[in-house]
Copies of this chain bind each other. A is one copy, B any other.
Amino acid sequence: MRPLRADARDNRARILAAAEDVFGQSPNASTDEVAKLAEVGIATVFRHFPTKVELLEAVLTDRLERLRDRAADLSRDDDAGAAFFGFFTQVVSESASKLAIAEALSAAGTVAGEAAKQAGAGMREAFGVLLDRAQQAGAVRRDAGFPEVYALLVGCSRGATATGLTPEARGRMLGLVYDGLRTGSTS
């Protein structure tokens, strides 16, 4: 499978971007809307993504990979605590304005497509590394397991988005959660 022609690759990217936009705003949007926004014919969308599900998965995969890359970058940061909380904050902040990332985060567990699954696993793994390092550095309490911390990441994103939190309130919400994560409960 040799690389796509230049124009085709451009179109693929345009479609993916359009899909991110469209599905980010209303997850049930039609494929036509994506085509309109991308300024291509409907058939072009289907040439690049043979079914709607595959398009959705591509959007999802794309997002997850970007998150994973960011987490991976941060995992090389010296200050493990700053890295962990910085990532957490960034994800939740962006979700506030991009419903779709939150959807992606939650869908990550439920989706069928192979690529999306792998991207989800990769993202969770990278986040797990951030958490581990933060715990070893003493920045996050040791008895916080991955599943619940991940659920908190997803949940905070969703909650902030769904209730239309102001940036200030969002900051305070994260402050509460971070206090909980840091609390030297027993350890």
Chain A residues in contact with chain B, CB under 8 A? Answer: 28, 105-107, 109-110, 143-145, 147-166, 169-170, 172-173, 175-181, 183, 185
Complex Cα distance, B164 from A24, in Å, reads: 22
The answer to whether A176 touches B180, judged by C-beta atoms less than 8 angstroms apart, is yes
Q: Are B106 and A158 in contact (CB under 8 A)?
A: yes
Establish whether residues A144 and B162, one from each chain, have CB atoms under 8 Å apart when the complex forms: no
Contacts of A175 in B (CB 8 A): 180
Nearest CB of chain B from residue A101's CB, rounded to whole Å: 13
Hey, which chain B residues are within 8 Å of A179, CB to CB? 179-180, 183, 185
Return the chain B residue nearest A176 by Cβ.
B180
Please name all residues of chain B whose beta carbon is closer than 8 Å to the beta carbon of A151 when the two chains form the complex.
Answer: 156, 159-160, 162-163, 165, 169-170, 173
* In the bound complex, CA of A28 to CA of B29 (Å): 12
Q: Is the Cβ of A159 less than 8 Å from the Cβ of B162?
A: no
Nearest 10 pairs of A and B residues by beta carbon: A155-B159, A180-B180, A106-B162, A148-B173, A155-B155, A158-B158, A151-B159, A176-B180, A179-B180, A147-B169
Q: A106-B161, A149-B173 are in contact. List 14 more A-B contacts (CB 8 A).
A: A106-B158, A106-B159, A147-B163, A147-B173, A148-B170, A151-B170, A152-B173, A153-B159, A154-B162, A158-B159, A175-B180, A176-B181, A177-B180, A178-B180
B109 touching A162, Cβ below 8 Å: yes
Q: Which of A151, A152, A157, A158 has the most CB of B within 10 A?
A: A151
